[in-house]
Amino acid sequence: MRIKRRDSSLYRILVASVLLAAGCSSEETAKSPAVPPGQSGPEAAADSKASAENRPRILIIGDSITAGYGLSPDRAYPALLQSRIDSAGYRYEVVNAGLSGETTSGGARRIDWLLRGGADIVVVELGGNDGLRGIPPEVTEENLRSIIALVRERNGDAAVVLGGMRMPMNMGERYRSEFEAVFSKVAAETGVIFIPHILEGVGGVPELNQSDGIHPTAEGQRIIADNVWEYLEPVLEERLDEADAS
């Protein structure tokens, strides 16, 4: 029997969010755990060998939020999603391709390689570092479109889930509004599944972020997992129903 998720509560709307890994140095990147137990790093996503059970893959490409910076790998939201998927009886393998300091440009460069291992569902958690570095919104938009296009080129049946990002007010109102509009625009025009704010209830909340004020605590990661699960579980259910009907 599959376990259904409980109805998600409404998360507070935050003004300052997406305090991602904007200042992550190469040293921080080296320290950051990138995958849940059983994986060896972002490189594992490109491994051509299927898992022992030949389960379909959920590839999560992201930055330090996805990598679970400052935490053990099993506390990052991809690992929490894997536990939830297993408990609910869905046969999917979650691949954590998070990399600290990653931008959408880096993601666009990596995605071809990452897809070599296959992906039936791709979750994109990128863009926060773009915003905090002041990268032009049109560049972020182009990169997100490139990632989505390549996923569909490689596997037209793959579902894509795009996480929306928000910026703190100190980035300037014009830039902030233009940047945040990119994600909903790309989602609407490409038809991907859209999470309006992947850090809803976490970004800008001191007690849910580590001492640097940027990276979520274990509790913050649990909330992110809830945010993603709200949109991911219907995809898993729909695909299960399609398999049952075939």
**Catalytic site residues?**
64, 212, 215
DSSP letter (8 states) at residue 15: S
CA proximity to 164, closest of 8, 17, 12: 17
Q: Taking the CA of residue 52 as centre, how many other CA atoms within 13 Å lie in the half-sphere pointing to its CB?
A: 1
Q: Which residues contact 211 (CB under 8 A, 6 or more apart)?
A: none
Q: Which tokens sit at 97?
A: 């391709």
CA proximity to 208, closest of 11, 24, 38: 11
Distance of alpha carbon 200 from alpha carbon 12, whole angstroms: 7
Instruction: Compute φ and ψ for 155, nearest 5 degrees.
Output: -150, 95
Residue 41 CA, distance from chain mean position: 16
- Cβ–Cβ < 8 Å for 107, 147: yes
